[in-house]
Amino acid sequence: MDGKIETVRAKVIECTECELSKTRTNSVPGKGNFKSDVVFVGEAPGRNEDLHGEPFVGIAGKKLSEALEEANVRREDVYITNIVKCRPPKNRVPKTSERDTCKQYLKQEISIIKPKIICILGNTAFNSLLGGSEITKHRGRMVRKEGQLYFITIHPAATIYNQELIKVLRSDIAKMFHLITEIKEGRDVQIDFDYPS
Ligand code: SF4
């Protein structure tokens, strides 16, 4: 693993900078390929992630893995992380203060990996990274902010009890990897929204 990512990981494991450190079992640093073209960003660790210290290892993680498989992408080839690295009690949405304190780690992960696209998984990541809301209205879109491309889709947890949303997640992920291929081949891709700088 890259030394710089290893340093971020070690800092996350030791971190006690917000209240979530008091109730977690384990911190959950990002995991995956630090040379990935894409960084997936979810909301926060859940129960299974808290127990194992790894992101997206529960049912939602299985849904994400299935969507990746469908797009012919191996999970170990991408990088997966969350807005906050410690589980909020009873899986509540992380508070703004917690997100603000934890964002230093996500920033470091992104600056080391320099992904072509950041894939936003769900409303909390959408709100934290782009100030957005109503993910279902905006999903499937590519946007650009300060030179960084973002692809917006739903959180895999939303698909657990909804077969229709599984199709949505799968088609969004496939679309995003198609766009990454286009970018790597030097073709222009459609940007659905460009944030003013
Ligand atoms: S959520 Fe982030 S800021 Fe809070 S203790 Fe965990 S690693 Fe530190």
Chain centroid offset of residue 118 CA? 7
Residue 191 lies in a domain: no
- The count of domains in the chain is 1
Residues in contact with ligand 1 by the CB-under-6-Å rule are 12, 15-18, 20-21, 27, 84-86, 98, 101-102
Mutate to test the pocket of ligand 1, among 102, 105, 108 (most ligand atoms within 8 A of CB): 102
Q: What single letter denotes the amino acid at residue 143?
A: V
Which residue, chain included where needed, has tokens 């080839």? 77
Residue 159 lies in a domain: yes
- Beta strands at 38-42 and 117-121: parallel, antiparallel or unpaired: parallel
Q: What is the pLDDT of residue 1?
A: 55
In a 13 Å sphere around the CA of 170, the CA atoms on its Cβ side amount to 16
**Which structural domain range is residue 66 located in?**
3-186
Q: What is the pLDDT of residue 197?
A: 75
What is the DSSP annotation of 106-127?
Answer: HHHHHHHH--SEEEEESHHHHH
Residue 118 lies in a domain: yes
The CA 185 to ligand 1 mean position distance, Å, reads 38
Residue 58 lies in a domain: yes
Pick the closest to residue 18 from 110, 81, 85, 114 (CA basis). 85
Q: How far apart are the first and last CA of the chain?
A: 34
Q: What is the pLDDT of residue 145?
A: 97
Residue 104 lies in a domain: yes
pLDDT tens digit at each of 197 positions of the chain:
578 999 999 999 999 999 999 999 999 999 999 999 999 999 999 999 999 999 999 999 999 999 999 999 999 999 999 999 999 999 999 999 999 999 999 999 999 999 999 999 999 999 999 999 999 999 999 999 999 999 999 999 999 999 899 999 999 999 999 999 999 999 999 999 999 87
| CATH number for the domain harbouring residue 82 | 3.40.470.10
Residue 196 lies in a domain: no
Contact yes or no for 49/86 (Cβ under 8 A): no
Burial class of residue 174 (count of CB atoms within 10 Å of its CB; 0-12, 13-18, 19+): middle
Residue 193 lies in a domain: no
The CA 88 to ligand 1 mean position distance, Å, reads 10
Residue 192 lies in a domain: no
